[in-house]
Structure 1
Amino acid sequence: MEPRIIFLVPRLHVKRVKTVLEQHDLLDRKTKIAAVAADEEQGQPRDSRMALFTTINPTQSEIQDMFLDDERKSTLTGDLALDDLKEEIDIILQNSESTGATTTRNPFTAAIIEALNKLPPSLLEVIHISHADLINEAPTTYSIYKPMLLLPPNAFDSPPWKTLFSAHGANHQDLQPLWTTIASSMNVTHIAINAGIPLSKAQPTTTKPQEVENILRSPLNLTPLHGAFHPLPTPQTLTSPTPSDLSSTLWVSTSQNGIVQVWAPLYTMFSRGNIREKTRLLTLPSVTAAVTQGAEEEQGCTAVDLYAGIGYFSFSYRRAGVAKVLCWELNPWSVEGLRRGAERNRWKTAIFHDAASSSPSAVVSTLRELDEEGVDFAVFQQSNEFAAPVVRALREGGVVPRVRHVNLGFLPSSRGAWRTAVRVVDAEVGGWVHVHENVGVGEIEGRAGEVVEAMQGFLDEWDGELGRRDGGRRRVVWEHTERIKTYAPGVWHVVFDVRVEGWRDVEG
């Protein structure tokens, strides 16, 4: 029997997952849902879970290794709108030699078993915990971003592990053999526990701490367990890192769609769930059309990313054939990650770190000199509120081709950049704005209308400033809504594809 992809689901969620698989015609109706039987060396499952057999075909590499990596698991749960259960569902392959029982082959579980066997028995005896207790409650999901093993936020929330860490501390010297063995087994040098990216952070004042927006989207709560992660974040290193800070910290990487991305996990976020949108951009008809038209005009086209991060979406535009990508990003660590990632992909960047070097005239002069070397990305470490005059100067100076696409990849809302987006799209031939928003499931259609209405107002305002209103009226048109992933129960991360007409559409 060929290996099959199986969802291991807590009884509480079986009905929901079964319904979703049925709706997508992915449930193997010939195989009954059954309780999971675990490997003998792993003890019993962490809870009572059921195996739902699917008709999803594994890749050849997955068949060969009998293992699905965490990125594939995240993609599957995202495609099925089960993101909120991704920490509770295991997705595995059935061993081709097994008949009824399902056998998991999880490298991290094997590493945990090996590591626990190397701990002195007395270490656990004094707190009345056995190896089996810890193995039964060990995490089964993880991500590897070379050279780091990243565990989910709830990895060690179960009572046995809490007792162990309460007695010794996760970073206590007595537990170092545990992490050293796991690191060796998983072929990594660093281990950490992940945490969600907080939307706000405490800001000390003379009276009491206040919550302010975490505008840099810094991780803040990542917990290092093994390896040197220095320098640890401080207000100084977060906003104004020195060259020494940038060179001495841990940088990790991953590859999606053959594109390498690099980031410093203590200082910048990475969302693997965005792979759906990254992949879409590579073959999006509007991107392909802009690239084709640019080639016909023998000048190419430009994309503007107003929330570039480490190049999440910027890199997809370049790989899709966009000639130039102009990026705005406040976080200096993200700017450095974008630079390193571009270098790994053999792309060239020009970085503008301060206001003086980012003035329109200075940018035009610098890029004109550098363009002989073929700059792929111009990256501005400044607020995107300054983007419009820079883009206009670059266009008027003939330094970059027409701007055909603008990306607004900021959550929970990119509303603050809608006016700028409309102003940087090429006024003659028009283009597209891709608006990322977190929206309640019942509010998606209404939000699309809000985006169009607001942008139409900004477009009318802009055309009035340009003195072109007498020639007609350019329109903002909704084209498509893409559901990327569930952000929280009942809330979707969506992208609204909006077309901004050019004067050619109006005049002829």
Structure 2
Amino acid sequence: MESPRSKPRPRKPPPQNPIEAAVRSWYFSSVSSPQPRLDELVAQAPKRWTVYEPMVLLPAGSFGAPAWRRLLSSGSLGERADGLWIQILAEISKRTGGTATTLTHLAVNEGIPAALHRSAAEERDRGGENEINDGRALDDNILRNPTGLRILHGDFGPASSSSSSSSSSSSSSDATPGPDDDDLERALWVSTRQNGIFQTWAPRWTMFSRGNIKEKARLLDFHGSNRTATATLENDDAWAVDLYAGIGYFTFSYAKLGMRVMCWELNPWSVEGLRRGARGNGWSVRVVKEENELALPMRELVSGGERIIVFLEDNKHAARRIEELSSPNILHVNCGLLPTSEASWKDAWDMAVRSESDETWLHLHENVGAADIDGRAKEIEQYFLDLAHEKSSQRTAHVDHTELVKTFAPGVWHCVFDLHTTRSSSIT
């Protein structure tokens, strides 16, 4: 006779998806008609989510299927939809180990506008017809505002900036009017940690790319794992330059490595996120945005010793400002704009040439078709060799590595080309 102990224990059923649990609970309490069927609603409900405390972000298309659209637009039942959103927040809060009130805001990320999915080659073929200012932004959405955010529940702050119609305090003609203190206070600020680095942003005003985590981690280990990188970070005068800073995506990686960072960003909401994020990580930060500050000599602007100095202005001023510093020790220049950062490459090269460091790395971001990556690397290398020849520069350049960060669209990769520039007595 078989011992009861030898019988295998039944496996516990997997935990129910919290969104499914919320849908079922809400359905039984709110839907009196058998149409639509519960199983149809569950099948068309989202299965995934991302938490950026205190917000839950659902993937594109969530609750947009035909059955859901009909249900949520039907009279009094549609008015009860808020109960569903609250239930979803409560269920996900339980799953994440918090209380039912931990997560308070719900939205759908309808994705990056289709125009941003064009490849770099397509942008070049278009001849820059949508270029803004000097071409540093190759899309109409120059500030990368989150135009696809669909708010379901919670107060995300004002839908427009109080000062949007007022003149900017910046002396630069390309400055963007920014939020006032009341706007900043009333806005919802969410946060996350990636690679141990705290980041925060206002989702109504600023995009966040979770997929950049791999590239951030690579930069953090750059001087440890890259055999070609001979420059050390022991000197406290080492600088990095970030020409498209955003909320500090890559700026913070350089800061964590111990470098000081000069960075440029046009979106005032992103600059505020960067400022808050820097403080949250314990780094000193100076924001240069007022007319009287922008007119100060660079020596004075960097003399305070802050880890991060961010300029709220177009990065077309960056090369000129860095030229004022004579020979700064610049180890990295990050050009992180998609679909291509090509318009800033000449300025990035000028910064490398001016650097007192024997080597400077340029990190050049582009969207490239999978079949064109090797060819694009050769084109980039030749572009910089030609620059060196034209200016009789005592530097040479080589694309040392191409990092495939993530797929951006079918057949298109977000690539980072690591251009290694070194002093050389002869340019070939």
TM-score range, shorter chain: 0.7 to 0.9
Q: Write the letter of the residue equivalent to 1:319.
A: K
Q: Write the letter of the residue equivalent to 1:285.
A: H
Q: Residue 16 of structure 1 aligns with which residue?
A: none
Q: Is the 8 A contact 1:268 1:333 kept in 2?
A: yes
> Deviation per CA, 1:144-192, whole angstroms, max 9, x where unpaired?
100001011111232221211232499x532221112222333311000
Q: Against the structure 1 CA distance between its residues 294 and 319, is the aligned structure 2 distance closer, same or farther, given a 3 Å change threshold?
A: closer
1:177 is the counterpart of 2:116: no
Q: Residue 325 of structure 1 aligns with which residue?
A: 261
Q: Write the letter of the residue equivalent to 1:160.
A: A
1:455 to 367, 370, 384: 384
1:493 is the counterpart of 2:424: no
Q: What's the CA shift for 1:133?
A: 2.5
CA distance in 2, matches of 1:232, 1:277: 32
Q: Residue 293 of structure 1 aligns with which residue?
A: 232
Instruction: Kindly report structure 1 stretches of 4+ aligned residues shifted beyond 4 Å.
Output: 96-99, 286-292
1:167 to 49, 60, 74: 74
Question: Could you state the TM-score of these two structures normalised by the residue count of structure 1?
Answer: 0.68
Q: Against the structure 1 CA distance between its residues 440 and 177, is the aligned structure 2 distance closer, same or farther, given a 3 Å change threshold?
A: same
Number of residue-to-residue matches in the alignment: 377
1:236 to 151, 155, 164: 164
CA distance in 2, matches of 1:143, 1:366: 39
Q: Residue 435 of structure 1 aligns with which residue?
A: 364
Matches within 5 A, 1:367-386: 367-368=302-303, 370-371=304-305, 375-386=306-317
Q: What's the CA shift for 1:423?
A: 1.1
Q: Is the 8 A contact 1:219 1:265 kept in 2?
A: yes
Matches within 5 A, 1:228-377: 228-233=155-160, 236=164, 239-285=177-223, 293-295=232-234, 298-322=235-259, 324-354=260-290, 356-359=292-295, 361-368=296-303, 370-371=304-305, 375-377=306-308
1:412 is the counterpart of 2:353: no
Q: Which runs of 5+ in 2 are unaligned?
A: 1-7, 94-102, 117-129, 131-137, 166-175
Q: Against the structure 1 CA distance between its residues 197 and 456, is the aligned structure 2 distance closer, same or farther, given a 3 Å change threshold?
A: same
Q: What's the CA shift for 1:246?
A: 1.4
Q: Is the 8 A contact 2:330 2:357 kept in 1?
A: no
> Deviation per CA, 1:463-493, whole angstroms, max 9, x where unpaired?
44xxxx5xxx421111001111111111111
Q: Write the letter of the residue equivalent to 2:186.
A: S
What SS class does the counterpart of residue 350 from structure 2 fall into? helix
What SS class does the counterpart of residue 443 from structure 1 fall into? helix
Q: What's the CA shift for 1:110?
A: 2.5
CA distance in 2, matches of 1:379, 1:291: 27
CA distance in 2, matches of 1:106, 1:239: 43
Q: Against the structure 1 CA distance between its residues 159 and 428, is the aligned structure 2 distance closer, same or farther, given a 3 Å change threshold?
A: closer
Q: Residue 142 of structure 2 aligns with which residue?
A: 215
CA distance in 1, matches of 2:74, 2:145: 31
1:153 is the counterpart of 2:68: no
Q: What's the CA shift for 1:291?
A: 9.0
Q: What's the CA shift for 1:393?
A: 2.0
Q: Against the structure 1 CA distance between its residues 292 and 478, is the aligned structure 2 distance closer, same or farther, given a 3 Å change threshold?
A: closer
What SS class does the counterpart of residue 254 from structure 2 fall into? helix
1:189 to 93, 104, 121: 104
> Deviation per CA, 1:322-360, whole angstroms, max 9, x where unpaired?
2x011111111110110111111111110011454224x
CA distance in 2, matches of 1:456, 1:168: 66
What SS class does the counterpart of residue 236 from structure 1 fall into? coil
Q: Which runs of 5+ in 1 are unaligned?
A: 1-95, 204-210
- Report % sequence identity: 39
CA distance in 2, matches of 1:438, 1:169: 46
Higher RCO, Cα 8 Å, sep 6+? 2
1:112 is the counterpart of 2:40: no
Q: Residue 375 of structure 2 aligns with which residue?
A: 446
Q: Residue 48 of structure 2 aligns with which residue?
A: 141
What SS class does the counterpart of residue 246 from structure 2 fall into? coil
CA distance in 2, matches of 1:136, 1:161: 11
> Deviation per CA, 1:210-248, whole angstroms, max 9, x where unpaired?
x96111111112111100012114692884222211111
Q: Is the 8 A contact 2:233 2:258 kept in 1?
A: no
Q: What's the CA shift for 1:117?
A: 3.4
CA distance in 1, matches of 2:13, 2:242: 46
Q: Against the structure 1 CA distance between its residues 458 and 239, is the aligned structure 2 distance closer, same or farther, given a 3 Å change threshold?
A: farther
CA distance in 1, matches of 2:114, 2:243: 18
CA distance in 1, matches of 2:9, 2:416: 43
> Deviation per CA, 1:5-42, whole angstroms, max 9, x where unpaired?
xxxxxxxxxxxxxxxxxxxxxxxxxxxxxxxxxxxxxx
